[in-house]
Amino acid sequence: MTTQQPVNDTISTEIQNGVGLICIDNPPVNACGQAVRAGLLEALDQLNNNDAVQVIALYAAGRTFVAGADIREFGKPPMEPGLPDVCDQLEASTKPLVSVLHGTTLGGGLEIALATHARVGITGLRVGLPEVLLGILPGAGGTQRTPRLTGIPAALDMILSGRQVPVEEALKLGLVDVISDATPRDAALAAGQDVIAGKLQIRRTGELSVTPDDAAIGAAKAKAKPLLFNPPRIIEAIAASTGPLAEGQALERKLFWDCLNSDQSAGLRHAFFAERAVAKVPEAREAPRPVDSMGVIGGGTMGSGIATSALLAGMEVTLIEVAQEALDRGVGTITKNLQGAVKRGKLAAEQLDPTLAKLTTSTDMQSLATVDLVVEAVFENMDVKKEIFTNLDRICKPGAVLASNTSYLDINEIAAVTNRPSDVLGLHFFSPAHVMRLLEIVVADKTAPDVVATGFALAKRMRKIGVRAGVCDGFIGNRILSHYLKVTTYMLMDGASPEQIDKALEGFGFAMGPFRVSDLAGIDIGWAERKRKAPMRPAAERYVPIADKIAEQGWFGRKTGQGYYVYGADGPYPNPAALEIVDQERAAAGVSPREFTDQEIVDRYMTAMISEAARVVEDGIALRPIDVDAVYLFGYGFPRFRGGPLHYADSIGAAELIKRIETYAKEDSHYWQVPDILRKMAADGSKFSDLNK
C-alpha cells in the first residue's frame, strides 16, 4: 500500500494491491489542459514501468471526471502534448487501463475514456461529445472510437446533436461497461481488482471493427442543415470509422482543423463565451439580496411564464390579478407550462404537484407584503405601471426588490413614484418566459448595486442569461429591433415582397424572417407600439404605413388567420389581400417598385441592425459589444453560428459598413447615419472585439 504521489499540480498516483491509480484533480471541472495532459502521460509511463502494478485505473477528484477542454486555451497556439496523442498513448498502455467516469464527462474527457480499455460509470453520470455546438468536431478520436463501441447510428446521433447521454443509456450503447454506486476512487480500486480477477473484460477500442451503415450516413446527410459547416464533416469522419483507426484519425484531424479555422466556429465560440462574459458586471462584487419568494403581478402569457420560471427555480410565488377569473386562467396556463416541463424532462413527474403547491394566488396586492421580490408584468401603459408601483411602495417590506417587466418604458420614471428608487430595476423577460433564456436587467439611475447583483443572481437561479442594460426606449434588444425593422418596411415599399425578405433572411440563418415573426407575435403588437411613439416621430423620418393598414383590417397574423400570410389548412402562403395593400400604398406614395437581390436584402437588414447596435454601445446602454451579441443570440433568434450582430460586424469591417451606410444615405439621409464609433474604428483599425477585453 502506498500514499498518493504527486506527478504535477493536477495528477497524482498511488498503488494498492496491484492496482495503480491515477487521479486527476484540476478544479473546478478537471478540464484537460496542458498540465493534465502532460501529467497523464508521465503517470502512465511510471505505472507501466512499475513491477508492482498489474492494472491501471484512472479516476478524478471533485464533482466530475474531465468535463472537456480547458477554455483558457481556446484561441491560443496548441501546447504539447496534444489530446489525440495522449489518447493514443492511453490506448497503447502495456498494462490494462480502466477509467471511472462520474459527473458530466464531455468532449475531450469522454475521448480520454474511450481510449481506455474498459469504463465504469458512476450513478448519475452523463456523457457527451458537444463539439458540434462550437462549430468543430471531436478531434481526439471521438468520431472513430465512438462508433466502434456504439455503431454508426448511435454515434451520429450523439455527435451531431451534442446531447448528454445518461449513464443507463451509455451502458446500453456500450460506452460504459458497468455502473457503480461507489465513490470514484473506490470504484477505480474495485474495477482494477475485477480486471485482475478476469471479471471485467478488457479490450482496445481502436481494434474493434465498425459495420458500415450507408443508410444511416445517407439519412444524416439529408437531415443536416445546409447552412452549417461542421455537420457534413462530422458525418464524413464517422463514415471513415469503418477503416483502420489511424486512417480515420488522420481524416478526423484534417476535418477538425478545417472546422476550427472556419468563420462559423469562431462565431459559435464567441457565442459560448458571450454566455459567460455578460455576468461580469461592475455590480457583481456586491452580495445579492436573498430572494426565496416572488410576487408576480399579471396572470397573462408573460406573467404566467415568469411565475412558471420562478416555480421551476424552487421559489414560492404569489400571483396577483384583478379578478378571480383572470387568476384561474393564469393558474391554468402555469399548470400547462409545468406539465410541458415534465414532458420535456425539465421537471420530474413526481415534482409537479409539490412545485404547484408553491403557488398562491390573490386579487389583493396586500398579499405581497412579505415577498422578497415583485415583478410587475401588466401591459405597456405607463400610468398603470405607476399606479402599481405607488401601491407596491406602500405594501412591500423594506428591502424588497421592485421590478418591472416593461419592454420599452422608462424605469427611471417608474422608480420616481416610489420612496425607494434604489430598490427598483427592470427585469425584461422574453416570451415565453419559462422557455426563453434571455433576461435584460435594466439598471435605472438610482438602482442600488446590490439590487443589480440580485437581478443577476435571479437570472442564474432561473437558468437564464442575464444581460445588463441601461435605460432608453427599448433598452438593448427592442431599441435595435425598432430601428432595423424600419428597413424591412422601406424595402417592402420599394419593391421587395414579404416572402422574398423572409426567405433571404432565413437563408442567412434566421429561423424565421421578420414578416413571419410579426405574424407570429401579432401585427397588433407593433401597431400599438408605433401609435405610442407617433407623437415622438421626427418630421424627417420616412414612415411606411403598410403594417398599420393591414392591422386596421383586423388582420393580426396567426391569431386571426391572416396577416402578411394566410394561415389554415393550405397555409401559410402570401396573403393576396395584404399584397394589394402594399400595391396601393406604393401607388399612393408614387413609388415605382424595383427589384432587390437576396444579398442586398441581407446587407441592408444587417447594416441597419449593426448601426443601431453600435450606437447602443456608443451610448453606454450596453456595457460591451458582447452584451449586444448575447441579447440577440439568446432573445432574438440571431444565427448562433454568426456569433451575434457585432461579432458579424467585425467580419465585414468598419470601412465597408461606412461605405454601405453612405451609399444608402443617398436615398434617406435621416435613417442612414454613420455611428461615430464606426468612424473611429475605420480610422484606427480597431474592432468591436477590442472593446470586449
Catalytically active residues are: 407, 428, 440, 478
Strands 97-101 and 118-122: parallel
| Residue ranges of E strands in 262-347 | 293-297, 316-320
Distance of CA 32 to the CA centre of its chain: 23
**Could you give the maximum distance between any two Cα atoms of the chain, in Å?**
93
Contact 582, 544 (CB under 8 A): no
With 0-12 CB in 10 A as exposed, 13-18 as middle and 19+ as buried, what is 204?
middle
Give 370's contacts (C-beta < 8 A, 6+ positions apart). 293, 397
Instruction: Kindly report the backbone phi and psi dihedral angles of residue 240, in degrees, each rounded to the nearest multiple of 5, phi listed first.
Output: -80, -5
Q: How many residues does the chain have?
A: 693
Measured between alpha carbons, how far is 278 from 282 in angstroms, rounded to an integer? 11
Give 230's contacts (C-beta < 8 A, 6+ positions apart). 132, 135, 136, 137, 259, 262, 264, 265
Instruction: Kindly report the backbone phi and psi dihedral angles of residue 30, in degrees, each rounded to the nearest multiple of 5, phi listed first.
Output: 55, 40
The candidate with the shortest Cα–Cα distance to 202, out of 127, 124, 102, 91, is 91
Measured between alpha carbons, how far is 359 from 307 in angstroms, rounded to an integer? 8
**Residue 228 identity:** L
The per-residue DSSP string of 536-601 comes to G--TTS----HHHHHHHTT--BGGGTBSSEE-STT--EE-HHHHHHHHHHHHHHT-------HHHH
Measured between alpha carbons, how far is 405 from 379 in angstroms, rounded to an integer? 9
Burial 309-329 (b: 16+ CB within 10 A, else e): bbbbbebbbbbbbeeeebbee
Residue whose C-alpha cell reads 434617406 in the numeric block: 668
Residues 217-221: contacts with CB under 8 Å, at least 24 apart: 217/152, 217/156, 220/156, 220/160
Give the C-alpha distances (Å, rounded to integers) separating 175 from 118, 172, 264: 9, 8, 30
The candidate with the shortest Cα–Cα distance to 484, out of 513, 519, 454, 443, is 513
Measured between alpha carbons, how far is 610 from 539 in angstroms, rounded to an integer? 24
Measured between alpha carbons, how far is 161 from 56 in angstroms, rounded to an integer? 33
Q: Which residues sit opposite 106 in a β-bridge?
A: 128
Q: How many CB atoms lie within 10 A of CB 211?
A: 8
Eight-class DSSP state of 636? S
The per-residue DSSP string of 49-100 comes to T-TT-SEEEEEE-TT-S--S--GGGTTS---SSPHHHHHHHHHT-SS-EEEE
C-alpha cell at position 500: 422574398
The candidate with the shortest Cα–Cα distance to 642, out of 125, 274, 350, 172, is 274
Contact 271, 265 (CB under 8 A): no
Measured between alpha carbons, how far is 312 from 310 in angstroms, rounded to an integer? 5
The candidate with the shortest Cα–Cα distance to 104, out of 85, 130, 82, is 130
